[in-house]
A and B are shown apart, each in its own frame.
Chain A
Amino acid sequence: MLGKLRRLNQAVSEVALKESERLPSNERRRFLRSGLFTAGGAMVGGALGGLSPKLWASETQYPPEIPPWTRSLGPGVVSEPYGVPSPFEKDVIRRNVPWLTADKISSISFSPLQNLKGIITPNGLFFERHHAGRPEIDPQQHRLMIHGLVDRPIILSMEDLQRFPSVSQINFIECPANGGMEWRGAQLNSLQFLHGMVSCAEWTGVRLSTLLQEVGMKPEGKWLLAEGADGAAMTRSIPMEKALDDVIVAFAQNGEALRREQGYPIRLVVPGWEGNTHVKWLRRLEVGDKPWMQREETSKYTDLMSDGTAHGFTWVMEAKSVITSPCPENPVRGTGICQIEGLAWSGRGKVKAVDVSVDGGRNWQQAQLHEPVMSKSLTRFSLEWNWNGSPALLQSRVVDETGYVQPTLAQLKGVRGTNSIYHKNAIQTWQISGDGSVNNVQL
């Protein structure tokens, strides 16, 4: 067997050497120097496929030349048993703002919306927020306890949970602090850092209503407390009406088990509501007759008004939209036809329409909505724009199915003041300069 492999490898090396003769002389020298063509034993399938991108960076990929990857073999099917993105996409990653929080353990990462297509956020790029870092939980040892005002308090293993009937639904999750750094002025010149605390996925899990029926709720059970198993033992109170409506205990995200940073093995998904209610690493659900007024719903995630009073229990993420191209990371590539593209969503239901302005909100045109348009999910929109090279101010404005129209920043600040931090869903303005570059501005 080994001998056969060696013979095969030798044959591949000979082919590679022959192939290299077809390369331009400078390419050929680099190829031979790389020594890859004589690479040893286990390189049968990968001798040529493993060539580094740099080695081949030349103009040989343009016609009439045949590019090297066409004249060689790539690695076989399980060279990466769990796939990873192309090395050329290495810049497409979640990023954090170091000055935003005291410590990365209790911080947030932002989705690279500028690089994403469609409405589904890949699991590895879904924004993350931890209050005490990401725990590593063995699903065999994890348990979900459901108790309180119920007839039959129970403890479920993860296997038990997956025996219940499951559902799948596509929902966005947005941190209420998304864009919260911008109440006092334009600070961050980036789509990723301004709006990347929103992501969208297909969630699969068990309806909370199924579990609550199973344990038999007592009639005085009006509230639910969800608690995580991480070092923050994160808790939120959720009114029973919502809990019984569309909330699920999710164990899968976009077809695979939840990612660890998304709550593996289980999390709550509370469609349309602020991200911190979607308690991750869920270990306990308690039914009670009153809210618990926990730290996250009193000292955090409440909206301070300019008169010094604060609004609590502002759970719903109101309708919002943003143009994802052009944006600071995606400048306009030249005059002529430009595809204005973006994302819109509403925590109250479906997106009904999106309008786009190129003159700072003086005039608007209705954009095209891309299917599918689903409740409490991201929705794509686009509009073709003929850019003549003049400076412009791009905006998008969503209308949801309740008739709510996304407000201007001036309107929102007029009601909330500038100390609100959370729920900043105002219209975003991108300034297009004559050279096509894009900046975050406020009007």
Chain B
Amino acid sequence: MFSYEKSSRSLTRFCSGVLLATLPIMGLAQSAGHYGYGEPATEAQIQAWDIDIRPDGKGLPEGSGSVEEGMGIYETYCSSCHGAFGEGMGRYPKLSGGEGSLTEDRPEKTVGSYWPYASTLWDYIHRAMPFFAPQSLTDDQVYALTAYVLNLNYIVDGDFVANKDTLPQVKMPNEDGFVWEDPRPEVVNVRCMEDCKEEVTVSDSAADKNLTPSTTGPLDEGLTE
């Protein structure tokens, strides 16, 4: 099929060398790269898809939402998986609690106990929640939910209103709990070949624990909770 647009573009490419040579003064900074494939992305297209939010607030849109507004939205969209107070249901993630548990045998990694940045909450709710209808909430609803979940974790007061100015100011309890440089290799094993240890003791066995799904026959359905 004949495409006027495509042939017009390839004509431009074909001639661009001549144009560059003859009209340098016009400047063609936005011209195609070496291969010239694809279409230039317009500002409107970039804005529509560029949804990521950074800890410094870069990317946060206009709008706002309060803790109180968040409560109702949370009950409608979130509580069936995350529990009425963010305590989690089944194996769906807990959103609150777990303060001081990170050194315990069963740490609870929640927004309050573990997440280093509040911006991440806005970003994740917006891109992936509610689980069964991602990217269906308005920006104001996402601000309200962010405020509510932060309040569930006692990080902001009940009168907190989240917006693009207030959210980057929120200091998360575990912000300083992370090392962002990989310390590995952190274990040094030596390649010993003979008489490497005195005795060998089996400390634990998976036999008879009855946790292993079948590896033959049909899929093992089992319980998910």
Contacts and interface: CB of A to CB of B under 8 A. Distances in A.
Interface size class of B (residues with CB under 8 A): 35 or more
Nearest to A302: B178
Contacts of B195: 362-363
Given A298-B120, A440-B206, A304 B107 contact: yes
B171 to A, nearest CB: 14
Interface in A338-369: 355, 359-366
A442 B203 contact: yes
Interface string A393-425: 100010100001111100110111011000100
A225 to B, nearest CB: 6
B15 interface: no
Interface in A132-182: 132, 145-147, 151-157, 160-161, 163-164
A95 B29 contact: no
Nearest to B201: A443
Interface in B128-162: 128, 131, 134-135
A114 B215 contact: yes
Contact of B224 (A101, A399, A418): A101
A441 B205 contact: yes
A98 B51 CA distance: 33
A316 interface: yes
Given A316-B184, A440-B205, A99 B224 contact: yes
A213 B209 CA distance: 54
B83 to A, nearest CB: 12
Interface string A283-299: 11010101111110011
B187 A309 contact: no
Contacts of B123: 292, 294-295
A318 interface: yes
B184 A308 contact: no
B114 to A, nearest CB: 6
A60 B12 CA distance: 73
B90 interface: yes
A294 B177 contact: no
B200 A361 contact: yes
B200 A393 contact: yes
Contact of A408 (B111, B186, B189): B189
Interface in A248-297: 283-284, 286, 288, 290-295
A235 interface: yes
Contacts of A154: 33, 37-41
Given A114-B215, A164-B37, A293-B117, A145 B45 contact: yes
30 contacts: A95-B214, A98-B213, A98-B223, A99-B211, A102-B81, A106-B131, A145-B41, A156-B38, A164-B37, A186-B205, A187-B209, A231-B128, A232-B128, A232-B134, A233-B51, A294-B123, A295-B124, A298-B114, A309-B177, A309-B178, A316-B182, A318-B185, A329-B215, A359-B200, A363-B196, A393-B200, A418-B105, A419-B107, A441-B203, A442-B205
Interface of B: 29-35, 37-41, 45-46, 49-56, 81, 90-92, 102-103, 105, 107, 109, 111, 114-117, 119-120, 123-124, 127-128, 131, 134-135, 177-197, 200-207, 209, 211-217, 219-225
